[in-house]
Amino acid sequence: MAFTFASGSSHLTASIGLGAAPLTLFARFNPTTLNADMVLLMSYAVAAANGVSERYLQQKNTAGNPFLMIVEDAGVGADVITFSPSGVTTGAWFVGIGRIASATSRTLRVETTNTSGSGASLSDSAPDTIRVAQYRTDGGPNFTGQVADVAAWTADLTDAECESLRKGFPPHRVRPQSLVSALRLIRSTNDRKGFSWTTSGAPSVSAHPRSYGF
């Protein structure tokens, strides 16, 4: 079973330390709507001196409903990777993967297609919080729809590993030595790595897409 999130009223949060790079963020998602800015998955850190460092996967309502990965270091700037997958629609499952190889190398993968970042050098700090279906402050543009799997690795996954995830292999079966968090969202918020997730707004349980292994 997956979780269904209602925009602005339900989300998940966990305190999970991640390095700035290398890093991979993964989510399997089924959008209910494409008509608003929606943050699917984000990691961030708030530092008193430098503001906020954040990375997130987001759907955005512009021509073609592109999917975005944004890497930002408050004091330095931002690198926005835009991808316009014509096949992303409501009522179907898709895979979004943000890969950060280094301070100057980032890739957004939606389904089987990769799009590279601008190469802007960002030396952002290590984020310490992950949110599912919500921006880092309440009232932001939040995801509406289903999420079945969420995971983070302190590694830049290969195309072959990303394809395994797309085909339905569970995150804990892919590069397990670098896996930091693996949240299957099968009826509960049990994290394979033992992190405690806070549930807000009572997301509902719904059907999980096909996957292999457990």
Question: For residue 213, is it within any domain?
Answer: no
**Does residue 214 lie within any of the structural domains?**
no
Max mean pLDDT among 1-10, 90-99, 119-128, 157-166 falls in 157-166
Residue 210 tokens read as 């096909």
Classify residue 212: in a domain, yes or no.
Answer: no
The whole-model pTM stands at 0.89
Q: For 133-146, how does the pLDDT look when each residue is reduced to its tens digit (9 = 90+)?
A: 887 765 566 788 99
Residue 96 placed within a domain: yes
Name, in order, each residue with C-beta under 8 angstroms of 185's C-beta and a sequence gap of 6 or more: 1, 2, 3, 147, 148, 149, 150, 208
Q: What is the pLDDT of residues 163-175, one digit of tens each?
A: 999 999 999 999 9
Q: Are 134 and 143 in contact (CB under 8 A)?
A: yes
Beta bridge partners, 100, equal 23, 106
Within a domain: residue 106? yes
Report the CATH number that the domain containing residue 77 is assigned in CATH: 2.60.120.200
- pLDDT exceeds cutoff 80 at 178: yes
pLDDT (tens digit per residue) in 49-104: 556 777 877 776 555 566 777 777 766 677 788 777 666 788 899 999 989 888 78
Residue whose C-alpha is closest to residue 145's, from 90, 190, 97, 201: 90
Domain membership of residue 126 (yes or no) is: yes
For residues 69 and 56, is the Cβ–Cβ distance under 8 A? yes
Give residue 208's pLDDT: 85
Residue 211 lies inside a defined structural domain of this protein: no
Is residue 87 in a domain? yes
Q: What is the residue range of 151's domain?
A: 2-206
Provide the number of structural domains found in the chain. 1
